[in-house]
Structure 1
Amino acid sequence: MTEVRDVVAAASQLTDAEFLEVVRAVAAGRPGLGALLAAVDVGAAIPAEDPVTAEVVPHVVPGVPEPDYTSGGVPTFDRVRERIEGRFGTAMGSSGLAHDSPSGRSLEDAWEKREKAGKAKLDEIRRSLGKQ
């Protein structure tokens, strides 16, 4: 396997455009690197640079939050709490939306019809047995 230092040394000798192409090729087809691929695509237009006057400007991708992880890769408590709250909110909202949707209403109507039919059949059986 190639040493990381060798890869970094080779990548540092590439132009920005060449490096972006390498990043695109590496990130393509890897769902875990989707944010990296999106960041590369945001910065797709790279002007021709003069190595003497080139200015290093940090690139901030709008809409991509700072990672809420420690340097060891462990999510912070706030990150975990936000994900739990988000999932809970999604679950609560989706049940409400499912109930109010046309398919949810038709399912509820079908359930009510079955319930009425069951009660009617039970009443019919009781009448036939003489137990009104």
Structure 2
Amino acid sequence: MSDNSDIASRLAGLSDAELAGVLLVATAGRPGFAAVHAALVGLLESGDVVPQGDVTPATAFEAAAPPVQAPEVSGQVEDISAVPVPPSGIFTPAAGGGYSDSGVPTFESVRDRVEQRFGTAQGMSELDRQTPAGRRADEQWEAREKAARERLDRIRKSLHGNDIDPDQS
């Protein structure tokens, strides 16, 4: 057999029709290339590519690829095509697992999921406060709260200073 690059360069030099003819002959009778062969036949039937007459197959052309036979089973393995059914008395997800027989979630399962999500969210916020960035955010929040309280106190004092009744003096 010759070098792959030599073959590739020769195939690249062929016209579309010549290449289709070569591939059609090369894939004939090969079960692994049955899909490629069928695609080439479809291409030729559509009339997009006209095969060249000078390409002759090295092997006899078969109209259809031989059927691929399934490997024989040794008989040691039983038929496993049926879905196994659990014996009675065993807990199944349909009967429990937080769902009713009709597939509706039970109140208990919904409550458990809500409590789990709430606990996760609360835990995450506590963990966030333990980080340096979380502590800085808490400190900034407290500083703003303190500044807001001081400002509100000053506003109240200034309003009370203007509330002096002129008749009382």
Please classify the TM superposition score into its range, dividing by the shorter chain length: 0.3 to 0.5
Question: Which one has a larger percent helix, Structure 1 or Structure 2?
Answer: 1
- Indicate the structure (1 or 2) with the bigger Cα radius of gyration: 2
Q: TM-score, normalised by structure 1?
A: 0.37
